Structure 1
Amino acid sequence: MANIVIGVTGGIASYKAIDLTSKLIQNGHSVRVVLTDNTLEFVTPLAFQAISRNHVYIDTFKEEDPSVISHIHIGEWADVILVVPATANTIGKLANGIYDNMLLNVLAATNKPVIIAPAMNVFMLEQPPVQKNIEYLKSIGYRFLDSEVGFLACGYIAKGRLADTASIIEYMNHILEDRVNKPLTGKKVLITAGPTREKIDPIRYITNISSGKMGYSLAKVANHLGADVTLVSGPVNIEKPDGVTVIDVVSTDDMFQAVKLHMNADIGIFSAAVSDYTPKVVSENKMKKDKKQEHLTLELKETTDILQYVGSNNKDMYVVGFAAETHDVERYAREKLKRKNADCIVMNDVSRKDIGMNSDENEVMMIFKDGGDLRIPKSHKDKIAERILETVIERVE
């Protein structure tokens, strides 16, 4: 049985959360309820307290148990959090980092799965800002249970009706089952992917042909294995994986700053093809061709070595780097393993046209700091990602 937090927001469908609480208790789950201030206009805390047989949380600053900080403790206690119903107001605040009530503070202080079930007038639901907020929250890992078509409080028969209790419980069980017996459940995985761009002037930049496909495959597989995945991605044309927190960056320094903020990961896989050099001076205006000047000299400086920084400054992260080489591939990869202080280097020959950068397939060899190599034959990058993560899990364990 699971520990479930139900967050109830102030909409006409709030009363349905009482039935949801009852059904979950009947199914043997432990339930704690958090209400927003606006919810009190529709339902009372006593109804939830009587059914859940637990204290109902409303006030962020009312700490009844001095041994814990409630909004943090609740999120840690939960196996899953349900926001039922979710109003446009709460969705908008959550998407924009506004944490001004107890429920929003609980959501800000948890890394557990959050399922959001919107309920509102059809025209509110279809508003571009509301849809934009929903899509953004999906992109950073929040799960949404779509509204149903039905009779709305405003009198319309249209989309916007809260999903029924059975559907909410079924979806919740699916999320919980996905987290059971998955080897990366409870683990944080940091992945970098794609190219970086170093500006020369407002419209020109230095980059490479990396598509980001390998990193995105790794992110999808890690998420499927139960991990809390953060994907730091350079500019790519790939759909964001469901359930993965994606941080979009452009330059190597952007990527470095994002990686530094997520150094608490258990596993770090650095597959991005970062630029080794960046222009010393970036022109504020478009550089014009000078007919008197036959050659243009562009002065470059080294960028921060992200993999080396992580290898030298992490605490308990298992560090996996990638070595994309065109000649003396194995020699350079083994040197990189030592130089970067990584636990593993994934080596691939990008001089081949049938694998590697911008291809759907790859062929790699994993070289380990504690000894041993593993060759993974040519396969689709999703399959390569599965084998890499299976092997890393074995090594970490």
Structure 2
Amino acid sequence: MSRILLIVGGGIAAYKSCEIVRTLRRRGHAVRCVLTEGGSHFVTPMTLAALSEDQVFTTLWDLKDEAEMGHIQLSRQADLVVIAPATADLLARMAGGLANDLATTLLLATDKPVLAAPAMNVRMWQHPATRRNVEQLRADGVTVMEPDEGAMACGEFGPGRLPEPDVIVARIEQVLAGSVAKPLSGRHILVTAGPTHEPIDPVRYIANRSSGKQGFAIAGALAALGARVSLVAGPVLLPTPAGVDRIDVESAQDMANAVAAALPADAAVMVAAVADWRAEDAAGQKIKKRPGEPPAPLRLVENVDILATLARSPRRPALLIGFAAETEQIVAHATAKRARKGADWIVANDVSGDVMGGDANTVHVVTADGVESWELLPKNQVAARLADRIAATLG
């Protein structure tokens, strides 16, 4: 018999929690319920107590329970913690690590697996803030179910409905049985991100405006799907995504060396905006400006082509993905680049606006089968969609 702690969030879908409890009890599981303040507007503690045949917990400030550190005990005594419905507010507080009521406090204190079944208005589910929170929770190891699509109590239609109780119970039992394998478990994926800095002298360098945000988001999304991710990062000030192994480099040659050292890999996603040229002879001392004299000549030579080199390598990953930052004829240039470089996919984006350094992206995925153009999306959603496609391709 497994012990399940069910947190009931506030929302009209809370009525389905009663059927979840009933089904779990019928299948032999012990259930304890935590009813949030919002949830209590839709179902009562007495109803859940009768169905679970156990005490229902509603507050962090119960003198008897908290004298024994009840929230710690609740969080540790269960085999699995389930949130159904998981509202937008609950997901946001979970992602932010807040602990301002009984539910979020025990979620922060638990050392057990956590499963969340979201339910909210379609626009709330699709809002960039909610998408960020979901991706953060998945990166933190929380299993977040996809909501159902359909008509809602508010009259709108789309994704956001709480999955049916039998579907939630089935997922609960999968998690309990340890049968929910992340799709990229056991895979090693190499990601490059950010710019490179090519020295002119000790204080000057050639660079570009890449922020590294898209590459870091992709690395985090792949790790959330279970991959072992090696992130070769150019000089950027971004936090390392959860579960990612980061290798910091500066120049294109540094990045090429780090990429070679990270092989073998099942896939490589080359997001970095590697400088095309470098100074032929970087000065060992600062080049001084001489009044009245022309500037010192700067001779440029081509940098190593990391993507093309990897495509020709005997240790070429099974799936090789390059990125193309373009300002005109986006798809045409990306299609030519895919053939020229020997990549399987090229993900192209128009960087003529504020994409470099911004938080959203419009991409075109160019493959041997054609071109797939995506709508404008936050970069973390681009990352999540691309990670899902990589997982499906690797099988």
If the length of structure 2 is used for normalisation, what is the TM-score?
0.55
Per the TM alignment, residue 187 of structure 1 is displaced from its structure 2 partner at its CA by: 0.5
Per the TM alignment, residue 172 of structure 1 is displaced from its structure 2 partner at its CA by: 12
Cα deviations by residue, 1:305-327 (Å, 9 ceiling, x for unpaired): 00001111134430000000111
5+ residue gaps in structure 2? Answer: 1-108, 116-139, 143-174
Q: Which amino acid aligns with 1:170?
A: K
Q: 1:61 matched to which residue of 2?
A: none
Identity %: 38
Q: 2:336 matched to which residue of 1?
A: 335
Q: 1:393 matched to which residue of 2?
A: 391
Cα deviations by residue, 1:147-194 (Å, 9 ceiling, x for unpaired): xxxxxxxxxxxxxxxxxxxx8963799969699421101101100000
CA distance in 1, matches of 2:268, 2:341: 13
Q: 1:359 matched to which residue of 2?
A: 358
CA distance in 2, matches of 1:334, 1:372: 9
Q: Is the 1:194–1:272 contact (alpha carbons within 8 Å) kept by the matching residues of 2?
A: yes
Distance 1:171 1:394, change over 3 A: closer
Q: Is the 2:195–2:235 contact (alpha carbons within 8 Å) kept by the matching residues of 1?
A: yes
CA distance in 1, matches of 2:193, 2:380: 14
Q: 1:320 matched to which residue of 2?
A: 321
Per the TM alignment, residue 330 of structure 1 is displaced from its structure 2 partner at its CA by: 1.4
Q: Is the 1:179–1:226 contact (alpha carbons within 8 Å) kept by the matching residues of 2?
A: no
CA distance in 2, matches of 1:346, 1:249: 23
Cα deviations by residue, 1:77-103 (Å, 9 ceiling, x for unpaired): xxxxxxxxxxxxxxxxxxxxxxxxxxx
Q: Is the 1:203–1:286 contact (alpha carbons within 8 Å) kept by the matching residues of 2?
A: yes
**Residue correspondence of structure 1 range 122-133 to structure 2 within 5 A:** none
Q: 1:305 matched to which residue of 2?
A: 305
Q: 2:235 matched to which residue of 1?
A: 235
Q: Which amino acid aligns with 1:366?
A: V
Q: 1:384 matched to which residue of 2?
A: 382
Report the secondary structure of 1:394's partner residue.
Answer: helix
Distance 1:232 1:179, change over 3 A: farther
5+ residue gaps in structure 1? Answer: 1-166
Q: Is the 2:365–2:372 contact (alpha carbons within 8 Å) kept by the matching residues of 1?
A: yes
Distance 1:203 1:263, change over 3 A: same
Q: Which amino acid aligns with 1:362?
A: N
CA distance in 1, matches of 2:111, 2:263: 35
Cα deviations by residue, 1:235-267 (Å, 9 ceiling, x for unpaired): 111111121100000000000000001221111
CA distance in 2, matches of 1:210, 1:330: 20
Distance 1:179 1:240, change over 3 A: farther
Q: Is the 1:215–1:271 contact (alpha carbons within 8 Å) kept by the matching residues of 2?
A: yes
Q: Which amino acid aligns with 1:322?
A: F
Q: Is the 2:192–2:271 contact (alpha carbons within 8 Å) kept by the matching residues of 1?
A: yes
CA distance in 2, matches of 1:220, 1:169: 22
Q: Which amino acid aligns with 1:231?
A: L
CA distance in 2, matches of 1:287, 1:229: 40
Q: 1:170 matched to which residue of 2?
A: 112
**Residue correspondence of structure 1 range 1-397 to structure 2 within 5 A:** 170=112, 180-313=180-313, 314-353=315-354, 356-369=355-368, 371-397=369-395
Q: 2:166 matched to which residue of 1?
A: none
CA distance in 2, matches of 1:315, 1:293: 50
CA distance in 1, matches of 2:360, 2:336: 25
CA distance in 2, matches of 1:393, 1:229: 13
Distance 1:292 1:301, change over 3 A: same
Q: Is the 2:362–2:377 contact (alpha carbons within 8 Å) kept by the matching residues of 1?
A: yes
Aligned residues: 228
Report the secondary structure of 1:205's partner residue.
Answer: strand
CA distance in 2, matches of 1:316, 1:357: 27
Q: Is the 2:360–2:376 contact (alpha carbons within 8 Å) kept by the matching residues of 1?
A: yes
Distance 1:362 1:179, change over 3 A: farther
CA distance in 1, matches of 2:303, 2:179: 39
User: Structure 1 stretches (4+) deviating beyond 4 angstroms?
Assistant: 171-179
Report the secondary structure of 2:112's partner residue.
Answer: helix
Cα deviations by residue, 1:120-150 (Å, 9 ceiling, x for unpaired): xxxxxxxxxxxxxxxxxxxxxxxxxxxxxxx
- The RMSD of aligned alpha carbons is 2.3
Q: Which amino acid aligns with 1:332?
A: H
- 167-176 vs 378-387, which moves further: 167-176
CA distance in 2, matches of 1:267, 1:245: 15
Q: Which amino acid aligns with 1:333?
A: A
Per the TM alignment, residue 221 of structure 1 is displaced from its structure 2 partner at its CA by: 0.4
Report the secondary structure of 1:310's partner residue.
Answer: helix
CA distance in 1, matches of 2:141, 2:273: 33
Q: Is the 1:249–1:255 contact (alpha carbons within 8 Å) kept by the matching residues of 2?
A: yes
Per the TM alignment, residue 207 of structure 1 is displaced from its structure 2 partner at its CA by: 0.4
